[in-house]
Amino acid sequence: MKPIDLRSDTVTRPTDAMRKAMAEAEVGDDVYGEDPTINRLEELGAEMVGHEAALFVASGTMGNATAVLTHTGRGDEVILESEAHIFFFEGGGAALLAGCQTRTLPGDKGVLDPADVRAAIRPENVHFPRTGLLCLENSHNRGGGTVITPERTRALAEVAHEGGVPVHLDGARVFNAAAACGVDVTELTAPLDSVQFCLSKGLAAPVGSLLAGSADFIKEARRMRKALGGGMRQAGIIAAAGIISLTEMVERLPEDHARARRLAEALVEMEPFSVDLDTVQTNIIIFDVDPAFDTAAGLCRDLANLGVRANPVGPQRIRFVTHYEISDEDVDAAIDCISEIVSGAQ
């Protein structure tokens, strides 16, 4: 059996079309603004998410760090959902790089309540930090791939803007969120001041993300990217894959969602596991393992021995992520492997 890698949608290899585009990419020095392939990618990405301009960055983490640096001043406070990727998985960049403190609010499956955000925005007072930024995450990784609807997105943006606070979206998988909502991605991105979205998560590019916003915002963000060491040269070679991501890989995302749903429904039928199917909205499944059966790490080891790779995300919690290299047959094979382990333990 071929390996079935459910660890993440970052594990995908570039498509044949991407490899061809990379080999043939027209390039120049991007720091001078002379790489035509990067310029095309930035224009395409900005247009797709309904913003004036975009900036090609090496990773989603760099895109989010650049956004925080551009929006805030030292000593500002950044409001985040308590399980946000920026808070959990980005090396404390808001504090380390921007000199900001974070204020986390509990969400419902990763989705913030506008009333909670309104209450968290600081009044002007010499004793308080200024509220410099609200960060949202759509889809929400630790929430299980859950989405913020267009209606909730607009409501959160309105509350923040009423308080004079800009809103940044960590939209690493925002095209997945749009597909799940059945809307154009601009319904989730245009109301916000900036958006970072990955080309290497779900869209299969080997590297890279885009940060989009107003022309003035991106002009300043370019300075911040340079300070972070992100000024790239003939990077059109990798940007070429990103163009394929946006033109050929977005429309197929519902296939990943359907496969994730089928896998999750199979897990529900197996006694040692519990899955909140309400969270299985995109291509991520997070499920709990009964401690009487095994630990998450132990089950992942058993799965690896059968050719299925997965990551524990807690002592009793595992994450599966579907992507373009996971077929219907792979889902069937993964379900069979899990069933074999469960049956063997009985």
Task: Provide the pLDDT confidence category of residue 287 given band limits of 50, 70 and 90.
Answer: very high
CA distance 299 to 174: 30
Query: What does the pLDDT read at residue 308?
Result: 98
Contact call for residues 319 and 299 (beta carbons, < 8 A): no
Contact call for residues 150 and 188 (beta carbons, < 8 A): yes
- Full-model pTM: 0.96
DSSP state of 278: G
Contact call for residues 166 and 193 (beta carbons, < 8 A): yes
pLDDT in tens, 290-319: 999 999 999 999 999 999 999 999 999 999
Residue-wise DSSP of 68-127: HHHH--TT-EEEEETT-HHHHSSTTHHHHTT--EEEEE--BTTB--HHHHHHHSPPS-TT
Q: CATH topology for 252-345?
A: Aspartate Aminotransferase, domain 1 (3.90.1150)
pLDDT in tens, 152-194: 999 999 999 999 999 999 999 999 999 999 999 999 999 999 9
**Domain residues of the chain, as ranges?**
16-248, 252-345
State the number of CA atoms in the 13 A half-sphere of 187 facing the CB. 16
CA distance 129 to 88: 22
Query: What does the pLDDT read at residue 344?
Result: 76
How many CB atoms are located within 10 Å of the residue 265 CB?
14
CA distance 31 to 265: 49
Mean pLDDT to the nearest integer, 82-110: 97
pLDDT in tens, 35-68: 999 999 999 999 999 999 999 999 999 999 999 9
Where does 16-248 sit in CATH, by number?
Answer: 3.40.640.10
**At a CB cut-off of 8 Å and minimum separation 6, what does 11 contact?**
5, 323, 325
Same fold, 16-248 and 252-345: no
% of residues, the chain, pLDDT over 70: 99
